Amino acid sequence: MTERLFLAVALIDEIRHGLAAFLSDSTTGLPGRPVPPDNWHLTLRFLGPTDALQRDRVLEFLDEHLVLEPFTLGFTGFGAFPKPSRATVLWLGVGRGSDEVAVVAAVCEQAAISAGFQPEDRPFHSHLTLSRIRPPTNVAGLVEQVGPFPLRMQVDRVTLYRSHLGRDGAAYEIVDEVLL
């Protein structure tokens, strides 16, 4: 029995509401398939199919090795993968706290490896996915036009999510939290 799990920084409601308002003020709508606000998060480590032993090992590892203090998270404006002129993912970037997010992600990576997952081969780039775009589209104008999202939040935990993939997109459910 496996579950589809991933580790992420969850957004507090104030940021969720603030970002929804910011997006409607600064755009006429996002291109592609926007991620619903309830699903917004910063992925730290996607685990994929995970059994109960692996899940417990990941949580134990994080409990033991996440020694960072809570920190302040701030944001930039928009960016895109793989590049704004041919975007498939439109995201909001991380400003203040990006070094800390990278440290937390590195511990999550070690936790995953200790539970037997294959190492992630792509470099970590913290981002909040706002929309997925098919076919690839030029969003350079939008990326240029939208300024930084000004709100900040305290990050004081890592959240383990279960993802249910459905016809209407993914639904996420909190499985557990590890406090910083």
Using the minimum distance from each CB to ligand ATP, give the nearer residue, 28 or 118: 118
41 part of the active site: yes
Position 149 contacts ligand ATP (CB under 6 A): no
Structure tokens at 38: 């309830």
Query: CA 14, 78, 160 angle in degrees (round to 5)?
Result: 50
Q: What is the DSSP string of 101-161?
A: HHHHHHHHHHHHHHTTPPPP-SPP--EEEEEEEEEEE--HHHHHH-------EEE-EEEEE
Does 129 engage in binding with ligand ATP (CB under 6 A)? yes
* Catalytic residue flag (residue 127): yes
- In whole angstroms, how close is the CB of 175 to ligand ATP at the nearest point? 13
Number of residues that bind ligand ATP (CB under 6 A): 9
Among 16, 27, 31, 43, binds ligand ATP (CB under 6 A): 43
* Of the candidate residues 21, 52, 53, 170, the single one contacting ligand ATP (CB under 6 A): 170
